[in-house]
Amino acid sequence: MYLMFLQILSILLNILWWIIIVQFVMSWLIAFNVINTHNDFVRQLWYFLERITEPLYRPFRRILPDFGGLDLAPMVVLILLVILQGPVISYLYQLGVNSGAI
């Protein structure tokens, strides 16, 4: 049960990583007018991605200084995801092995 929880957590963190990457790429494509938000599919996808990521970015946007058009919140969230996926999940796995949960 414990191992399954860690695997699900790892998969969810990986999905979140890719959602942030897709939003980043899409923001550049919109900024350079390669894709247009007047398209229904693009608008709905952009709205969906913003609804998922905005609660993650909001606390970091309050802390980080304003760099004008440069938003560093996604980068901070990606760094935290790397930290969570690597050392933290490995530690939780070892903790489960040592306690006999796995």
| Residues 14-38 pLDDT 10s | 999 999 999 999 999 998 999 999 9
pTM over 0.95: no
Contact by Cβ (8 Å): 20, 78: yes
Which SS3 state, helix, strand or coil, does residue 30 take? Answer: helix
> In this predicted structure, what is the pLDDT of residue 70?
86
Residues 6+ apart with CB under 8 A from 101: 1, 2
